[in-house]
Amino acid sequence: MLRGRTKTLEKDPAEIICAACGASAARELANYCLVCGKTLEEDYQPLDSLRSSYRLQGRGYLLENTEGPQSQDLFAINRNSVAETAWASCVYSMVPYIGVVFVPFTLVASVLGMGVAVRRPEAGGGKMSLASFGLSFAVTGIQVFLWWLLYIVPELARPV
């Protein structure tokens, strides 16, 4: 006896039911379902109905091998350690209040990183340096606003 059904000659094909989609077998000795492609000997698996709806029975789960549209990587080739340092400093500057210490270092490192990218184009890092430079101004504005809130909130809490 096989799991799911028996292979006997007196078995009616209409009695052989696919565990995934519920279709009955077309012939007595059928091995695969004509609707979804699942082997009729297997029991029901939790993802069978989903896989059969997309006709994925009998195919592997490997999604890594599929080729899709390639997206452009903003930071594709970067062997520019100065630009990497500028980006790290930019990320550190996003910490509320204390991050304002990293903003001047981010500006200096991003300018130096852009200089390295211009002198050695094969090293890359130009886009990363420009992104760090631009973001440091936005972070500076947010940090100034946070420091202003730190001083204005106690003033608002005082009775008039």
19-56 pLDDT tens trace: 777 778 878 888 878 777 777 787 777 766 666 666 65
- Domains of the chain, by residue range, sit at 1-58, 81-157
pTM for the predicted model, two decimal places: 0.51
Each as own residue / partner, the long-range contacts of residues 78-82 (CB below 8 Å, 24 or more positions apart, any chain) are 78/123, 78/124, 78/125, 78/128, 79/122, 79/123, 79/124, 79/125, 80/113, 80/116, 80/117, 80/120, 80/123, 80/124, 80/125, 80/126, 80/128, 80/129, 82/109, 82/112, 82/113, 82/116, 82/125, 82/129
User: Nearest-CA neighbor of 41 among 49, 50, 30?
Assistant: 30
User: Nearest-CA neighbor of 33 among 19, 49, 15?
Assistant: 19
Positions of the chain with pLDDT lower than 70, given as ranges: 1-14, 47-77
pLDDT of residue 1: 43
pLDDT of residue 41: 80
pLDDT of residue 8: 46
pLDDT of residue 28: 80
